[in-house]
A and B are shown apart, each in its own frame.
Chain A
Amino acid sequence: MNKKLRFRDPELAKRIVEKIHDIAPKRDLVKICHVCGTHEWTITHFGIRSLLPKNVEVIAGPGCPVCVTPASEIDSAIELAKKDVTVTCFGDVFRVPGSKNSLLDAKAEGFEVHVVYSVSDAVKIAKQKPTKKFAFFAIGFETTAPSTAAEIFHKPPENLSFLISHRLIPPAMELLLGIGDLQIDAFIAPGHVSTIIGLKPYEIFPKAYRMPTVIAGFEPLDVLFAIYMILKQIREGKASLENEYVRAVSWEGNIKAQELMHRIFEIADGEWRGLGKLPSSAFKLKEEYDDYDALEKFNVKVKSGRDLPPGCQCHLVMIGKIRPTECPLYMKACTPQKPVGACMVSLEGTCRIWAKTINTNSSLIK
């Protein structure tokens, strides 16, 4: 049996689910929050919620970097395109709505917007066409920010600049704890963000908030074991930081990547779609790299944007306050084919994952 299959071994899964039922509190509600679109995919795709005791709930926090990118920054990217700058971006952000339009709409209007697989491709394209102006729309959490930093460190060509929209996960987790009526009991921390930042930034959650926190991988058994580890801590009255994803995450994280990020970026307050400004939750270019700042270079100033189209509840879905099915637009006005909100656009948006996986017309879904 290969390793991948062993991480999906149904027999092991059955036994761990029995263990979860054994040790879960019998009545008290346990609310576990994850903050990663890929965790939501694993949980939904493998039907993990249906395997848990009724009083153990797993909710999805703001773990989709495309969804949290505010409309104002999409508007800025569109403004750049309108100023004869070719915008390169990841495919995920292409269809995300700004205040009025998406980058896809801008392209349809004739402006230059190109999807790339990687920031390296954005650099390559800029080198191939030295007489054209390019801006790379750099979105993503700590998983993605080091690649942007690495390219800037290696001095990309002068005709390429950057719209930096990177966001940081731990401040978003802290925001959730400030929302009183969410009443989260524990965190599943995101595995791939953690490969970069390591464990230390999560220490605050068990120490200051007495919140069991477990870093988890993305196979269904990883998630089930993380839930088991959390329930075990709760049963023993403990709150500690544990690492389930030891095959990829070390205590110190990826130091090379961290050093590069801190060389190029400084931490700033950041706007999150529908959630407002969160302190120390974003990266911006350090002053010495201002020449690469697309907004400065092309004098683009977008003050604020409209994050939520009428009726859209993305801001509540993103913090796990409501399930996608509780949004009045879900699978009515807002579908994967014709999305209204950002959470239905991105492959890692909770609404899109639910829409693509769960048959909400089924009598099994209540």
Chain B
Amino acid sequence: MCLAIPAKIVSLEDDIAKVDFGEEVLREVNVALVDAKVGDYVLVHAGYAIQVLDEKEALETIRLWNEILGTEAEKPA
């Protein structure tokens, strides 16, 4: 039930956005709960976008993971 799937906003009219879940699976979702614009990735839950995904943070997460693993691997156990 709390499953939320990322999708990209391809068009927007008032609170209704057309989003692409990938491979051109398009659906209309309500974006009243978020401040999103065309091109943003949003998390979609039960027909509503509940949050805008932060692409910079996503890349930063992976960088941080590598950093944690890299630096700490060099320390003696």
| Given A3-B58, A150-B48, A247-B57, A192 contacting B4 (CB threshold 8 A) | yes
Q: How far is the CA of A246 from the CA of B57 in the complex (A)?
A: 6
**Of A63, A118, A244, A254, which one neighbours B34 at CB under 8 angstroms?**
A254
Contacts of A246 in B (CB 8 A): 54, 57, 60-61
Contact A140 B30 (CB under 8 A): no
For residue A228, which residues in chain B have a CB less than 8 angstroms away from its CB?
68
CB pair B45–A192 under 8 Å, yes or no, is: yes
Q: Is the CB of B50 within 8 A of A196?
A: yes
The total number of A-B Cβ pairs within 8 Å is: 119
Interface flag for B47 (CB, 8 Å): yes
The answer to the question of B25 belonging to the interface, with a C-beta cut-off of 8 Å to chain A, is no
Q: Is the interface of A mostly helix, strand, loop or mixed?
A: helix
A7 to B66: give the CA distance in the assembly, Å.
Answer: 12
How many residues of B are in contact with the other chain, CB < 8 A?
Answer: 32
Given A146-B50, A150-B30, A246-B60, is A90 in contact with B69 using a C-beta cutoff of 8 Å? no
A residues with a Cβ closer than 8 A to B are: 3, 6-7, 12, 15-16, 19, 22, 36-38, 63-66, 90, 92, 117-121, 139-141, 143-144, 146-147, 150, 190, 192-193, 195-196, 221, 225, 228, 244, 246-249, 254, 256-257, 260, 346, 348
The 6 lowest CB-CB distance pairs between A and B, nearest first, are A118-B47, A195-B51, A247-B58, A147-B48, A247-B57, A143-B2
Extra inter-chain contacts (12) besides given A15-B73, A195-B4, A254-B34, CB under 8 Å: A12-B66, A36-B2, A118-B48, A192-B43, A192-B50, A195-B43, A196-B50, A225-B65, A247-B57, A256-B32, A346-B1, A348-B2
